[in-house]
Amino acid sequence: MSFISNYIYYIGAFGLIFIGLYIVLVKRNLIKVIIGLSILDTGINLFLISIGYIRRGTAPIFSKINIEIARMVDPVPQALVLTAIVIGVAVLALALSLAIRLYQHYGTLNLRKIKDQRW
């Protein structure tokens, strides 16, 4: 039981990652694949943040002049996640614009049917 409570954040993050990967690999509709990419990004960000956690930690902000330093969590993963979220949003925006143009050309979003490029 303590194993679960210790690793619950990792299990949750990787659960999201694998759900996202499964959606991207299996689903046919392009919009669902894009949503899968978004879930994958969310899972990865959750995983990155949970690496930096300290037991009973608090935010690394000096809101009062004398605050306990030893219990502050690691600030580096938070900086990494800031960047990763923005990059995820950028890819998502580009993917959605491509989906709009793809629908205008083909009339369908079914990836199995969009196979103009032959061998």
The C-alpha atoms of residue 9 and residue 98 are separated, in whole angstroms, by 34
One of 2, 4, 86, 107 touching other proteins (CB under 8 A): 86
CB 49 within 8 A of CB 79: no
How many residues of this chain bind other proteins (CB under 8 A)? 69
Bridge partners (DSSP) of residue 73 are none
Which x/- pattern, by CB under 8 A, does the window 37-66 give for other proteins? Answer: x--xx--x--xx-xxxxxx-x-xxxxx-x-
The count of residues in the chain is 119
> Which phi and psi angles does 29 have, rounded to 5°?
-80, 135
> Which phi and psi angles does 87 have, rounded to 5°?
-65, -40
Contact flag: residue 31 with other proteins (CB under 8 A): no
Residues that bind other proteins (CB under 8 A): 6-7, 9-10, 14, 17-18, 20-22, 24-26, 30, 33, 37, 40-41, 44, 47-48, 50-55, 57, 59-63, 65, 69, 72-80, 82-87, 89-91, 93-102, 104-106, 114, 116-117
